[in-house]
Amino acid sequence: DQQVKQNSPSLSVQEGRISILNCDYTNSMFDYFLWYKKYPAEGPTFLISISSIKDKNEDGRFTVFLNKSAKHLSLHIVPSQPGDSAVYFCAASSTQGGSEKLVFGKGMKLTVNP
């Protein structure tokens, strides 16, 4: 079963506007969440993370919001730039469960148009 879901396969936005990427999870044991960006034929690059003790984390143009009651997180990119065009993966882990495994969503392709 898909414990981390990225329900929209793609998003297209104009340069300078906001990009909002969504992610839902089902496992209530997850308490640490990450976003990775991936270009074709490269490995994922870490962007930003958030612990379940917070509801927001910001790093430059990237902000991640966590809604634990809804089991939902989102990544906001403001302003969006053409270089942000990539596939974005949401990932989750349980730091208390004894497992080191990150569970990834299927990814979402973001296209930022000049």
For other proteins, the binding residues (CB under 8 A) are 4, 32, 34, 36, 41-46, 49, 89, 91, 93, 95, 99-107
Which CB sits closer to other proteins, 46 or 78? 46
- Shortest approach of other proteins to residue 16 CB, angstroms? 29
Q: Quote the tokens at residue 66.
A: 């966590």
Which CB sits closer to other proteins, 11 or 103? 103
- Shortest approach of other proteins to residue 95 CB, angstroms? 6
Which CB sits closer to other proteins, 19 or 94? 94
11 burial (CB, 10 Å; 0-12 / 13-18 / 19+) is: middle
Which CB sits closer to other proteins, 48 or 79? 48
Name the residue among 102, 8, 83 with its Cα closest to residue 39.
83
- C-alpha 13/C-alpha 25 separation (Å) is 25
- Shortest approach of other proteins to residue 68 CB, angstroms? 17
Q: Could you tell me whether strands 4-5 and 86-93 are parallel, antiparallel, or unpaired per DSSP bridges?
A: unpaired
Name the residue among 62, 104, 63, 59 with its Cα closest to residue 83.
62
